[in-house]
Amino acid sequence: MTTTTFPIDPGDMPALKRWLAAQESGSENIHSHLHPVEIDEILIGPDVLRQLPGALQRAGIDLGSPLVLVMDETPMLRGRDDLKLLVQSLLNNAGYHVRPLWLAGDHHGLVHADFEQVQRVQAAITPQTALIALGSGTVTDITKHAAYLYDLAHPGQARSVYICCQTANSVTAFSANMAVLLKDGVKRTLPSRYPTAIISDLGVLASAPKAMTLAGLGDCCARFVAYGDWYLASALGMVAPISGTEHVTSHVLDMIADHYRRGLALHGAQVGVATITAAQLYQRFLATFDPRAVDIDACYPGASLIRTHVQQLFRQVDPGGAMARECWHDYSEKLLLWRSSRMRFAHFCAHWHSLHRPKLASLVCSPHIVHTILAQAGAPLGCQDLQPVITQQEYNFAVQNGHFIRKRFVLGDLLYFLGWSV
Ligand SMILES: [Zn+2]
């Protein structure tokens, strides 16, 4: 058995901040800039839920203050207790005035992370009101972004207090300062804010449905391929933060769900499945890409041609055209950058075998490893294992066209410009 020691304990934020500061001051590179992590504390432990009132007081929220507790209508347990009642009585007994804010779901009972929901939460915030998100990814994204927009609209006030009380280990983004929200039917990753504190109570997380924990594992697997996409984008002079092929595939599966009259599968479960696919694409690309066979001119198709293609693609699933417009808005920027970085692509081809191929190969995992990790845990391995089941036709559409939805460059972009079929 092997044990992994993380160099930094996320439960010790002061140590993490000292470590970040030391990296910055020790760096010779004047362009190096590590952003501060504006999270005051992350509590992880078997019974840390009870520390929620203490975390509020440490954040400057006095006893007697109102709290907006944001939740969806999904029943949740902690052991045998009703979690939502438990948290309300914990806070009321501590002397706070809890105002539950229930987010309503659609006809499938699902809450969507869209601006309508964000505005409802934002409207409930007043000065000295703390926000608590009691939920998993969607509730967290809605609450986080409401706090962010409230802060933006009140520049003279101290930053609002927003506490993330995660109810499942279903995604990796609880600690992120970004939110994924629907805009005109397209999933957009937007700058948002860090939580003041995160409460990761192991009793709560252990009581979450197993499928949600497995989804969290799938979301973690993203880095097995996303590092390759980051490198590729950087080497080609394109835009490169955060997630890659696996996430755009998952986002498109969500975007086309309405058209196919189905509910949404868990984000992390989709990401896990798409990570296997992306790893297979990388394996094929690394094994067979021959820069001598590349016709560079053919890698720069005309913008109007691609625009028509993107419109036709997304009008299939959204005849109104709003989704196609939103995709093209971002994608057209990527296309411009791709044209202006043509020298970088020529350089990339010239140094493929000596530099880029070995580097990419070191950053991307084999599909076998990703498959083994997910299989041993019992996580979904293909679109037919997702809940609800997603057809191969829908899945192929997402894999082939995920790169059209936003400006970040992924392997799918390069394969498209090279004329490969995926
Ligand atoms: Zn994710």
pLDDT tens string, the chain, 422 residues long: the values are: 456 666 778 889 998 888 888 877 765 655 557 778 899 999 999 999 999 999 999 999 999 999 999 999 999 999 999 999 999 999 999 999 999 999 999 887 889 999 999 999 999 999 889 999 999 999 999 999 999 999 999 999 999 999 999 999 999 889 999 998 988 888 888 999 999 999 999 999 999 999 999 999 999 999 999 999 999 999 999 988 678 999 999 999 999 999 999 999 999 999 999 999 999 999 999 999 999 999 999 999 999 999 999 999 999 999 999 999 999 999 999 999 999 999 999 999 999 999 999 999 999 999 999 999 999 999 999 999 999 999 999 999 999 999 999 999 999 999 999 999 87
Q: Tell me the CA–centroid distance for residue 377 and ligand 1, in Å.
A: 18
Q: Tell me the CA–centroid distance for residue 23 and ligand 1, in Å.
A: 27
Burial class (CB in 10 A: 0-12, 13-18, 19+), 385: middle
162 DSSP β-pair partners: 131
Q: Tell me the CA–centroid distance for residue 381 and ligand 1, in Å.
A: 16
What distance in Å separates the CA atoms of residue 372 and residue 247, rounded to the nearest whole number? Answer: 20
Contacts 24+ apart (CB under 8 A), 308-317: 310/404, 313/401, 313/404, 314/404, 316/259, 317/255, 317/256, 317/259, 317/397
Q: Tell me the CA–centroid distance for residue 95 and ligand 1, in Å.
A: 36
Q: Tell me the CA–centroid distance for residue 138 and ligand 1, in Å.
A: 11
350: which 2 tokens? Answer: 């010239």
Looking at residue 21, its pLDDT comes to 82
Q: Tell me the CA–centroid distance for residue 408 and ligand 1, in Å.
A: 15
Q: Torsions phi, psi of 44, nearest 5?
A: -125, 125
Q: Tell me the CA–centroid distance for residue 179 and ligand 1, in Å.
A: 11
Q: Kindly give the pairing relationship between strand 77-78 and strand 81-82.
A: antiparallel
Q: Tell me the CA–centroid distance for residue 268 and ligand 1, in Å.
A: 6
What distance in Å separates the CA atoms of residue 414 and residue 299, rounded to the nearest whole number? Answer: 9
Looking at residue 184, its pLDDT comes to 83
Question: Closest Cα to residue 67, out of 152, 129, 11?
Answer: 129
Q: Tell me the CA–centroid distance for residue 234 and ligand 1, in Å.
A: 21
Q: Kindly give the pairing relationship between strand 186-191 and strand 178-183.
A: antiparallel
Residue type at 24 in one-letter notation = E
Q: Tell me the CA–centroid distance for residue 271 and ligand 1, in Å.
A: 7
Q: Tell me the CA–centroid distance for residue 247 and ligand 1, in Å.
A: 6
Q: Tell me the CA–centroid distance for residue 173 and ligand 1, in Å.
A: 7
Q: Tell me the CA–centroid distance for residue 215 and ligand 1, in Å.
A: 9
**Those residues with Cβ within 8 angstroms of residue 163's Cβ, 6 or more apart along the chain or in another chain:** 52, 55, 56, 59, 130, 131, 132, 133, 195, 196, 197, 198, 199
61: three-class secondary structure by DSSP:
coil
Looking at residue 109, its pLDDT comes to 80
